[in-house]
Structures are given as C-alpha cells and as structure tokens.
A and B are shown apart, each in its own frame.
Chain A
Amino acid sequence: MAVDQPLAADNSFEEHDDIDEAALAAVLRIVPLGAAMLAGSAVALAVLGYLAIYLFVFLPRGVVG
C-alpha cells in the first residue's frame, strides 16, 4: 500500500467508526468516573511517595545551602 496515495477507503475510517451512538451516549453518562478514580489514585500515591521521600530521606540527610 502506498503511503502517499491513501485510498478513498482510508478517508471513510476517519469520518466514521463502528460505535453505536446510543451506546456511546449511555456510556458517557458514567465516564469519566472510572478515569477520575484511576488517575486520582495515581496522583495521590505519587504525592504521598514524594512527601515521604522528602521527609524521611532528604531532610534527615542534613541541611545544605
């Protein structure tokens, strides 16, 4: 397949997909709850890890300036 002469068929992929609009609308009533929980947990863990390293590893090693 020639990359620089895309088929007309390629165009149609970018205009439509197979997703049923009603199903999408139903799903969108819940989204992004799961993503928010996942990302929020990750961020919370990162902040805790960050503070833990700051308080328990960095600060005990002494003041420098």
Chain B
Amino acid sequence: MRNADRLCLAHFWLAFVAFAGAAMLGAWQMWVRSPLGAHTGTPGQYYMSVTAHGVAMAYVLSTFFIMGFGYFVAVTALHRPLSGKGWAWTAFVVGVIGVAMTLVTIALGKASVLYTFYPPLTASPWFYIGLILVVAASWVWCVLMLVSMAAWKRENPGRPVPLAMFATVANAVLWLWTTVGMAAELVYQVLPAALGFVQTIDVGLSRTLFSWTLHAIVYFWLIPAYIAYYTMLPRAAGGRLYSDTMGRLTFVFFLIYSLPVGLHHLLMDPEHGNGFKLIQVLLTAFVTAPTVLTIFTIPASLEIAGRLRGGRGVFGWIAALPWDRPMVLAAGLSFVMLGFGGLGGLINMAYGMNAMIHNTSWVTAHFHLIYGGAAVIMYFAIAYEIWPRLTGRQHESLVPLRWQLWLWFVGMMTMTLPWHWLGLEGQWRRVANFNYDNPLIASWGPLVIVSLGGGLLLLASALLFVRNLAVLHRGVVPASARPLYALAVDPPQRLPAALNGFGLWNVLVLLSMLLAYGFPIAQFVVAPSPTAIVHRAE
C-alpha cells in the first residue's frame, strides 16, 4: 500500500494551487489600490477578491499543508504505516467539497464578507457550510494524529515520542481547542442567521467567540515552521539540536499560551471592559515565551553546525553555515521576518498602544510578514525538503529554489515595511480604492507603489515555487536516501509524561480558558447584548 505519499501530495497540491491563485488575486488587489490602478475594478470585484484571497491563504493553504505535513511526519518520524488511511482520504474529499462550496459561493458574489466574516454582515449559507466541512476534515486529521501517537506509544513503551511527532500532535490538540470558538459562532449564531432562521444576532457574543479562534489559529499556522526549525534545520545545517527538552517545552508553551489571549484582538471593542482586556494582555506576554526560547535554541543549534564547519569567533559560525541549502537559507530569512513581525506584534498587544495602529495597514503588514513571511517561507522549505521522498525524484538544481526563496523574502519585506509606515500615517484597512485627490491620501501614493512592487515580486515567487515542485513530478534524477530529522545533542532516553503527552496540558488549557474567557462569554449567555439585524452581503 503506497497511498500515504499520494495522500500527502493531494493535500499539498490543493494547498499550493489555492496559494498560487490567491497570490494572483493579492497582486491584483494591490494594483487596484495603488495610484497606478486607481480607477480599475469595482468594489464588488475587490471585496470578492479579498474574501477569496483571505479564505485561500488563511484557511486552505494553511489547513491542507498542515494536514499533509502531519501525515508525512506520522509515517516518517514514527516509522510506521499511517493509521486510518481510509478516514484520511474521506476527510480529504470532504475538505475538497468544502473548499469548492466556499470558493464558488464567493465567485458568485454571494459571500463578500472577508475571511473574518464578522456578523451582522452575513453571506450565503453555502459559504459557511463549506468552511464547516473544511474544519470537520481537519478534525479527522487531529484524531488521526492522536491515534498515531497513541499507537506508537503502545508499540514503544517507555520511549520518548520523536520530537517532530510530539510537536505535530501538540498542534493537533491546539487546533481542536482553537476551532471551538469559531465553530460555536458558526453553528449557534451565523448559520441560523444565514439560513434565515433568525433575523437578529448578538454581535458582542459573535466577536468574542471568533476572537477565541482568531489568535490561536495563527499559532496553528506557525507551529509547522517551528517543527522545521527544531527537527529538520539542525540536520540540514550539519549540526545537532541544542536541546530536545526546550523543543518540547516550546510546543507545550504554544499549546497552553496561545488560547487564553484572543481578547487582545478586541482591545478597541466596546463590548468588553478594561479588566478582562488587561488580563488577556498579561497572558499574551506568556505566549512570547516559546519564541524567546526558540531564538536562542535554534541559533545555538546552528552555531554547533557552523563551528563544526570551521567557523571561528563570536559570529564567524554564521558565515560558515551551508547557506546554499534551501532549508538553511529559508530559516535564516524566516528569522529576519520573525524579528520584524514579532516586534510589530508586541506593539499590537501593548494594551493602550493598540489604539495607534488598530485596523490600519500596520496590522496588514504584521500578519503578512509573520504568517506570509516567517511561516510560509518555511512551508516552502519543508516542501522542497520532502518532495524528493514523495516523488522519488531529486531537484536537478537548487538554484531556482534559492531564487524563489530570496524573491519571497525581498518581496515580503518590500511589501510590508511601507505598510507599517502607512499604518502609522493613518492608512486604514480593507479599502477597495483610495481617493488620491485627497492631499493626505495622495502623499501615501509613492509608498503604496513601492509596496505594490513587493507584491509583484511575491507573485513571481509564488509561481516559481509551484514550478519548482511541479518539475519534480517529471524529473529524471532519482532521489537518494537522505536524512531528514535532526538528532539532539543529548537524545532523551526517558521523559516525564508531561513532555511525552498532553494530559496535564489539556487540564491547564481548560482552566486557563475558564479564567480568561469564562466571564467574557458567559456574560452574553446570561445577559445577551441588544441584538442587531442580520444584513445580507449580496
């Protein structure tokens, strides 16, 4: 039975085709917003495009890439056939149907509500049903990840779960917790409104339920990049992982700290008071911990590699690293983008300082840089690394791979750095066309054009990425066996249950969510907000 590689490839190709399409839409959007394309396109077209771009990048690229990568890790890190392959394929088909349903509804103009779909603005019910199917498919994946880990532990009693799988399952558990908010909002509030069963909706509650998902989801997206940092990068660089324990703690911290912080997306909202906003801001400080550990542990791992290659002095090991290898190059570029994006994020979460940038282009810059930049460049690197195993063919040359990665980095920085500045100037979000007759807005024009240039580089990079993978399917050079996962400096022999499973951490998540979200949600159940009338977005 050789279906697991086809299973992985199916997920990846769905993700990457959606990605390429979304990249084209993104470039068009940037053109239309700039002075160069100022009177092109209608708002109807623009918001259809933004909705499709957001859904494809935030829900399709991410979810299906992560599912495919998870199946890959479950087989290759655990050295066992995939459990429940029939379920996995069924889930994939359900996911495809969901994606089709959602994208077609958007294309028909019946769902211009953006990927955040804030009620009372309401789309056709098919838009939401499609998303629900995608989430359902991903839940099957979560269960299969848990089942795989449990089966391996039974077959290997007392042994530490390989870090790549431990991290993948941490992400699966995180995702199960994360989707509760959005699922509750969709099933309990939005879908009944879209189907016409109710005419009004409690917007305070819907904003709050969505915020539960909105922050934690970005860690769902980010964790695969961290899996590559910890388990693939040290090997690719020719070194060892500095600390396996810190790796495990990083993923545990992501699980427990990503969730009780969603209210920091609602700092400017009037339905919550200072008390819980401040509590969740303080909790947000904790979610910096896994990144703080990572920016030490991963450079330390690379330092091992660099010094083994002859690097000397305090920083000489950096130049000595094998930057010609795509995984190493991507990680270096990723860390730079993580730095800028992370700094922006620290400003976003800083309580009162959020007022300076909320709903401006600064926010758009932040999430494109950190997700589109730091995380997605590692998706590219992972794909390049594992494609030979999936296709049985080798990359004929690494030059186009490196070009693609550099184009992505330069494009992303060129696109997002001006947006930060424009955000501080007051440029606001989700605008179909700017009135460049207004002198203030006209003064933004040059930076908008620079940003557009970045967007065009990104489009070129996106198409080159798809090309670099597609050619392997027709490649002639057979793949040779190559190592994938890194060893640690001190490979663990035995681990406490807390670093080998998630029982304890699930309890902590439950308690922290009760603390952070208990009252903020319960208040609407006990005393609903004055309801707003459902507005159909058609």
Contact = CB atoms under 8 A, between A and B. Distances in A.
Interface of A: 1-7, 9-11, 13-14, 16-19, 23-24, 27-28, 30-39, 42-43, 46, 49-50, 53-54, 57-58, 61, 64
A22 B354 CA distance: 52
A14 B346 CA distance: 38
A35 B300 contact: yes
Contacts of B318: 34, 38
B350 A4 contact: no
A37 B315 contact: yes
B485 interface: yes
B185 interface: no
Interface in B471-514: 479, 481-485, 487, 489
Given A14-B162, A24-B489, 6 more contacts: A3-B390, A4-B81, A7-B481, A13-B485, A53-B347, A53-B353
Interface of A is mostly: helix
B242 A32 contact: yes
Nearest to B482: A13
Contact of A46 (B3, B308, B339, B353): B339
B356 A19 contact: no
A12 B489 CA distance: 17
B308 A39 contact: no
Given A32-B303, A54-B350, A4 B2 contact: yes
A16 B355 CA distance: 53
B225 to A, nearest CB: 17
A46 B343 contact: yes
Interface of B is mostly: helix
B359 interface: no
A43 B489 contact: no
A27 B314 contact: no
Nearest to A64: B355
A13 B389 CA distance: 14
A19 B304 CA distance: 10
B384 to A, nearest CB: 16
A57 B299 contact: no
Given A1-B479, A3-B76, A32-B300, A39 B353 contact: no
Contacts of B4: 2-4
Contacts of B295: 39, 42-43
A31 B355 contact: no
Contact of B342 (A2, A17, A46, A58): A46
A58 B354 CA distance: 10
A50 B346 contact: yes
9 contacts: A5-B81, A10-B484, A17-B483, A23-B308, A34-B299, A35-B296, A35-B297, A36-B296, A53-B347
